[in-house]
């Protein structure tokens, strides 16, 4: 437990930030899961719409250091490649 007034304040701030970051990361993961589920269902239009929403959340998480910026870029790249491969496979069929 914190003893000084400043450490008590710091502890409270850290707790608020932890909960905020946790909620934002959870929302980001949920959005990514929605993309993967849409791809598995074969709905590329829905996957693209979800990707636009996910991109915003991933970029924000990277900018606010919830995740590393390179991790954000890698995640977006892999999701876009997955959508592209799915569209190509659907077109070939």
Helices (H), 1-93: 5-41, 44-63, 69-92
Asked whether residue 3 is domain-assigned, the answer is: no
Q: Beta-carbon neighbour count of residue 44 at 10 Å? A: 19
CATH code at 76? Answer: 1.20.58.110
Nearest partner of 20 among 51, 72, 61, judged by Cα: 61
Domain range spanning residue 13? 9-92
The string of pLDDT tens digits covering residues 22-51 is 999 999 999 999 999 999 999 999 999 999
Asked whether residue 2 is domain-assigned, the answer is: no
Q: What is the pTM of this model?
A: 0.86
Please give the pLDDT value at position 88.
93
**Angle between helices 69-92 and 44-63 in degrees, nearest 10:** 170
> How many domains would you assign to the chain?
1
């Amino acid at each position: 437990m914190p003893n000084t007034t400043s450490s008590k304040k710091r502890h409270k701030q850290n707790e608020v930030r932890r909960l905020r970051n946790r909620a934002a990361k959870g929302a980001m993961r949920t959005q990514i899961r929605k993309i993967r589920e849409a791809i598995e269902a074969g709905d590329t239009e829905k996957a693209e719409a979800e990707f636009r929403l996910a991109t915003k959340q991933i970029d924000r998480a990277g900018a606010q250091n919830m995740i590393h910026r390179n991790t954000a870029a890698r995640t977006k790249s892999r999701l876009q490649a997955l959508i592209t491969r799915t569209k190509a496979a659907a077109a070939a069929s």
